[in-house]
Amino acid sequence: MAFHSIADEFFVFEEDHYGLVFGGLTLNFGDFNYSLGWNSEQLLNLFVKGDLKDLIGGEDHYEINKDNFDFVAPMFNTQINDVKSEWTSYRLLDEFEERTGEKKYGLQSLVLEFEGGGYLQIASVDFDMGYDGAQNMKYKHNGNLLISANRNIFVLAKI
C-alpha cells in the first residue's frame, strides 16, 4: 500500500486514526496493482486496475512516507479478507457545465477488511476544516481521499 499526493500538503489526524490526501493510493497484490486516485484527464478520482502514475498522468506528485500513516501500519502486508464497495453514477460536464455523454459509475467508498479484524475505510470526500479535524464530510468524486483505520467516519451526504 502506498499513498501519493499531488498537493503541497495532506492532513493526518493520528489520534482519530484517519487522514485526507489529494492524490491517491495504490494497493499492491504482487503481480498487479489497484489504484484509487486523481485522474488529471477527467478531473475526478477513479478506481482502476493498474498503476497510479498512469491514472494521475502528467500531474506532479510524490509518495508520502508511510510513517505519516502509522495508524495504517498494522494493515501493511496483511491479507485482505473482504471488500465492500459503494458506487454512484455521474456524467461528465462540457464547457457550459451541461451533462454530456453516457452515464458512468464511480467508486464512492471502499472498505477493506483484513486478516486479524482490522479494516480501512476509503472514500472520496469534500470537507470543512475545523479546530478538531475535518468536519461536514460529503462524498465527492473530485475530493480528497479519506483513509480511516478501524474507525467508520460518518459521511454526511451522497454525491
Q: What is the pTM of this model?
A: 0.86
**Total domains in the fold of the chain:** 1
The average pLDDT across 17-30 equals 89
Q: Is residue 158 part of a domain?
A: no
Question: In degrees rounded to 5, what are phi and psi of residue 69?
Answer: -115, 50
Are 76 and 116 within 8 A, CB to CB? no
As a whole number of angstroms, the distance between CA 93 and CA 138 comes to 20
Q: Is residue 159 part of a domain?
A: no
The kind and range of the H/E element at 54 are helix 52-56
Q: Which domain holds residue 94?
A: 2-149
* pLDDT value of residue 14: 79
As a whole number of angstroms, the distance between CA 137 and CA 60 comes to 26
pLDDT band at 53 (very low <50, low <70, confident <90, very high): confident
CA angle, residues 2, 157, 24, in degrees to nearest 5 = 15
Q: Is residue 154 part of a domain?
A: no
In percent, the amount of the chain with pLDDT more than 70 equals 99
Q: Give per-residue burial for 52-89: e unless 16+ CB within 10 Å, then b.
A: beebbeebebeebeeeebebbeebeeeeeeeeeeeeee
Query: Going by DSSP bridges, is the β-strand pair 119-130/144-149 parallel, antiparallel, or unpaired?
Result: antiparallel
Q: Is residue 157 part of a domain?
A: no
